[in-house]
Structure 1
Amino acid sequence: MGQAPSVPKPGKTIQVIGAGLPRTGTASFSRALEILLDGPIFHGGTQATLGPPAQIKTWMAALRLWDLTTDPDSKPDKEKDEYNKKAMLNLISTQLDGYAASTDAPGAQFTPELMELYPNAKVICTVRGIEGWEKSMNQIMHYTFLWFLRGLLLPLPGMRHFISYLTLLNVQWTRLYGEKVPTRLTYERHVEWLKSVVPEEKLVFFDVKQGWGPLCEALDVEVPDQPFPHINDGEAIDGVARFHIRRGLIRWGVILGVGVGVLGCVLYR
């Protein structure tokens, strides 16, 4: 989890809404939930970058509809807004069908919508030290600012949409938190936002460093007879980034090689 995409399991439904921001131990949290809930977990970052191409495109469609239904500058249109919201909820529901929980972005930013779809689910926000979180987020931003990334990923199904996906996600974050680039204020505002949209009795804050105890108590399940999983999010993200950059280079090498070969055949006929 956090390193390989999960496959939905028929009959499973969302029992936990992971409302924690990326880089708050969401990979370890996802693996722990997979054990406790005995089902696949939809870790947003992993599914977007390593899952089927349809998943990143579905989230993009949902983010566009979210933008339409929450745009403060647009004229109110109750009928149209209700139609767009219904379409957005349908996309999200279809996306998460067969999963026991959702974690990471963009699910964390869709917490109100997920509560509407899964009213019996527990909302758990993973937390960590703000300074460490800010430093980790800067690591992600490093990759998104690589000037050649969009062109490099173009031959890769799914990942060719990654920069556009991040742009849509940034629109949502900017509207929710008031900042285009994540900082410690983003973290603080996310926590305050959750407290304003989630009933107090349904919201749990959890640090993966605490281990099984608090999480099992929140879910009312027994503590497993195995160590709490600890996955390094930073190493996982670095690994995924290198994997896709390498794939892009290889794919472009093949494309250029074939192109040169075809051109040579045409010129020397």
Structure 2
Amino acid sequence: MVKIICAGFQKTGTKSLSRALEYLGYNVYDAGEVYMYMRNTWMDFFKGKITIEDVCREYDRQNVDVVVDGPANYFWEEMSKYWPDAKVILTLRDDEDKWYESIVKFYKGIVRWVGKLAYLGYLTPYGYLTEKYLTLPYHMLVFGNCNFHPLVQDFSNVNNEQIYKRKYREHNAYVRRFCPKTKLLVMNVKDGWAPLVSFLETKMPEIEFPFRNKVNSKNK
């Protein structure tokens, strides 16, 4: 049964949080595990063949303790109803400008390193189905468009910044408004272990907080 639902957007320190929770002994399914072990389940969901409850049952079948990143972050509320005892963690950046700068840099990096290969992968049955029924639908749900996807690459769109920042604000505000305060932790990973171990009521680890993707600041 899932114990922790991480509702934070990408590039809010989710990789650092994922590593920290793994160190604390949780079985964490981040984006990589989703594409490796939950790909078909989420594709069936986006095809309309199964419900979000069916998705949750598959997570239970695979003995997952923590869900991080998409698509689970978008469906935190439905999953919270399915696992009513699960805690919710919302990771935030210092401000939306830093988040937007980071996510643009991230997706431009993907385009630079794998963008051309994405077209080749899209031609394979695996790649085509994954993009059509998982990655692209998720981008549309979260961001309202697919402009940063390697198959689109519409980085010059003058409306991107307004749209993406608004989606970020709306998501965070919704989580803070509707998640019961008794089960919600809003954190910036640059604050390290302290808020996390207090929230989870566990001992302070003897190692430093495992920051990932750190560039100039600890919550990159």
State the TM-score, normalizing by the size of structure 1. Answer: 0.64
The answer to whether the 8 Å contact 1:28/1:208 transfers is yes
SS at match of 1:183: helix
- Report the Cα distance in structure 2 between the residues aligned to 1:139 and 1:61, rounded to whole angstroms: 31
1:16 aligns with 2:8: no
SS at match of 1:59: helix
- Report the Cα distance in structure 2 between the residues aligned to 1:193 and 1:186, rounded to whole angstroms: 10
Which residue pairs with 1:139 in the alignment? Answer: 105
- Report the Cα distance in structure 1 between the residues aligned to 2:126 and 2:198, rounded to whole angstroms: 38
Which residue pairs with 2:59 in the alignment? Answer: 95
SS at match of 1:124: strand
State the TM-score, normalizing by the size of structure 2. Answer: 0.76
In the TM superposition, residue 192 of structure 1 has moved relative to its aligned partner by 1.1
Task: Give the counterpart of 2:129 among 131, 152, 161.
Answer: 161
Structure 2 unaligned segments of length 5 or more: list them.
Answer: 146-159, 216-220
Task: Give the counterpart of 1:104 among 69, 83, 104.
Answer: 69
SS at match of 2:196: helix
Question: Between Structure 1 and Structure 2, which shows a larger proportion of helix residues?
Answer: 1
- Superposed, 1:176-187 pairs within 5 Å as 179-180=144-145, 183-187=164-168
**Larger radius of gyration, structure 1 or 2?**
1
Moved more, 139-148 or 16-25: 139-148
Task: Describe the shift of the 1:218–1:144 C-alpha distance in structure 2 as closer, same or farther (beyond 3 A).
Answer: same
The answer to whether the 8 Å contact 2:9/2:73 transfers is yes
The answer to whether the 8 Å contact 2:5/2:73 transfers is yes
The answer to whether the 8 Å contact 1:19/1:103 transfers is yes
In the TM superposition, residue 42 of structure 1 has moved relative to its aligned partner by 0.6
The residue identity in structure 2 corresponding to 1:88 is: I
Runs of at least 4 residues off by over 3 Å:
139-151, 154-162
Aligned residues: 194
- Superposed, 1:188-267 pairs within 5 Å as 188-232=169-213
The residue identity in structure 1 corresponding to 2:28 is: I
Which residue pairs with 2:150 in the alignment? Answer: none
The residue identity in structure 2 corresponding to 1:105 is: G
The residue identity in structure 2 corresponding to 1:113 is: E
The answer to whether the 8 Å contact 2:5/2:88 transfers is yes
The answer to whether the 8 Å contact 1:16/1:123 transfers is yes
In the TM superposition, residue 157 of structure 1 has moved relative to its aligned partner by 7.1
In the TM superposition, residue 158 of structure 1 has moved relative to its aligned partner by 4.6
In the TM superposition, residue 119 of structure 1 has moved relative to its aligned partner by 0.7
What percent identity do the matched residue pairs reach?
25
In the TM superposition, residue 88 of structure 1 has moved relative to its aligned partner by 2.8
Task: Describe the shift of the 1:139–1:116 C-alpha distance in structure 2 as closer, same or farther (beyond 3 A).
Answer: same
Task: Give the counterpart of 1:40 among 12, 27, 36.
Answer: 27
Which residue pairs with 1:9 in the alignment? Answer: none
In the TM superposition, residue 63 of structure 1 has moved relative to its aligned partner by 3.0
In the TM superposition, residue 27 of structure 1 has moved relative to its aligned partner by 0.8
In the TM superposition, residue 224 of structure 1 has moved relative to its aligned partner by 0.9
In the TM superposition, residue 227 of structure 1 has moved relative to its aligned partner by 1.1
1:234-255 deviation line (CA, Å, top 9, x unaligned): 9xxxxxxxxxxxxxxxxxxxxx
- Report the Cα distance in structure 2 between the residues aligned to 1:132 and 1:226, rounded to whole angstroms: 27
- Report the Cα distance in structure 2 between the residues aligned to 1:95 and 1:56, rounded to whole angstroms: 12
